[in-house]
Amino acid sequence: MPSAFIPIVLLAEATGLVVLGLVITWMVKYQDGFALDRTSKEFNLHPVFMILGFLFLNANALMTYRVLGNAFNRTAVKIIHLLFQALAVACASFGLSCVFHFHNAMGYANLYSLHSWLGITTFAFFSLQLILGFVAFVIFGIFAPSSSVTFRKVYLHLHVYGGALIFIMAGVTSMLGTAEFISFKIPTYATLPPQGVLANVLGAFIAIFVALVCYILYNTKYKASAVQSANPYEEQINIEKD
C-alpha cells in the first residue's frame, strides 16, 4: 500500500468530522438547537442527520474495501460495508422525517425546491442501491452463488459506479440545502456575518470531503491487495471485477 494512503484516509476522516462539527455548531450556536417538537428546532435535525448519514457514514461504507480490505476477509468487509450503509439510511430517514414533520406542522408545501427534488432522488437511489446490493451480494451470494456469477459480475460495475454517483449527489444536495437554508435564515448574508462565514466554510468543507473520498475511491493504487473470500465464486467475481 502506498505510504500516502493512511494520511489521506485520516485527512478525509478529519474533514468529515469538521463538516459534522460545523453543521452542529451552526444549528446550536445560531439556530436555537434541537428538539423533537415539530418546530424549527426539529427542522434543525435535518441537516445534521442528512450529513451524518449520506455523507459521513456513507463515505465510510464506500471506503470500507479500501481501508479494511487487507485486514479482514471479504465476508467481514462486506458485512461492515452493509452495516455502515444500513446506519446511513437509518440516519437519513430520520433526517427526512424531521423536515417533513416540520413542513406539515407549519402547513408548508413539500418537495417544491431543486434541493428537495435532488434530495428525494438521492434517497430513492440510495435505498434502491441498498436493496439491489443486498439481493445480489448477500441473498444470491449465499443461496445461488454459482448460478448468479454473471449477474453479480455485471451488476457489480453498476453498483460501484452507483455508489460513487449517489455520494456525489449527496454532496451536491447538501450544498444546495446549505444555500437554501442561508437564504431563509440569514437575512444579513450580504454583509458576511459570522453565521454566513460559518455556512460558507461548511459548504467548502463538504466539497473538500467529497473530493478526498472520491480520490481514495478512484485511485487504483489504494485498492486492497489481499481481499480474500471463503467463497470461490465470490473470489472469481473479485478477480474479474477489474
Side chain identity at residue 74, one-letter code: R
- The set of cell numbers assigned to 221 is 493504487
Of 54, 140, 155, 222, the one binding ligand HEM (CB under 6 A) is 54
Per CB under 6 A, contacts with ligand HEM among 106-135 are: 110-111, 113, 115-116, 119-120, 122-123
Q: Looking only at Cα atoms, what is the longest distance across the chain?
A: 64
Cα 20 from chain centroid (whole Å): 12
- The set of cell numbers assigned to 140 is 444470491
Distance CA 98, CA 104 (A): 10
Considering the complex, state which of residue 122 and residue 148 has its C-beta at the smaller distance from ligand HEM: 122
Closest separation in Å from C-beta 27 to ligand HEM: 9
Contact between 99 and ligand HEM by CB under 6 A: the answer reads yes
**DSSP one-letter string for 149-169:** HHHHHHHHHHHHHHHHHHHHH
Contact by Cβ (8 Å): 159, 151: no
Contact by Cβ (8 Å): 174, 50: yes
Of 12, 20, 45, 51, the one binding ligand HEM (CB under 6 A) is 51
Closest separation in Å from C-beta 82 to ligand HEM: 20
Contact between 180 and ligand HEM by CB under 6 A: the answer reads yes
Distance CA 230, CA 131 (A): 23
Of 85, 177, 210, 237, the one binding ligand HEM (CB under 6 A) is 177
Considering the complex, state which of residue 27 and residue 63 has its C-beta at the smaller distance from ligand HEM: 27
Of 178, 209, 217, 222, the one binding ligand HEM (CB under 6 A) is 178
Of 38, 103, 153, 159, the one binding ligand HEM (CB under 6 A) is 103
Contact between 19 and ligand HEM by CB under 6 A: the answer reads no
25-58 in b/e form (b: 16+ CB < 10 A) is: ebbeebbeebeeeeeebbbbbbbbbbbbbbbbbb
Contact between 45 and ligand HEM by CB under 6 A: the answer reads no
Interacting span for ligand HEM (CB under 6 A) from 1-9, 75-83, 105-113, 133-141: 105-113
H-state helical runs in 107-193: 114-133, 140-143, 149-185
Nearest CA among 215, 109, 124, 112 for reference residue 169: 124
Contact between 15 and ligand HEM by CB under 6 A: the answer reads no
- The set of cell numbers assigned to 191 is 454583509
Closest separation in Å from C-beta 192 to ligand HEM: 18
Side chain identity at residue 28, one-letter code: V
Binding site for ligand HEM (CB under 6 A): 46-47, 50-51, 54, 96, 99-100, 103, 110-111, 113, 115-116, 119-120, 122-123, 170, 173-174, 177-178, 180-181, 184
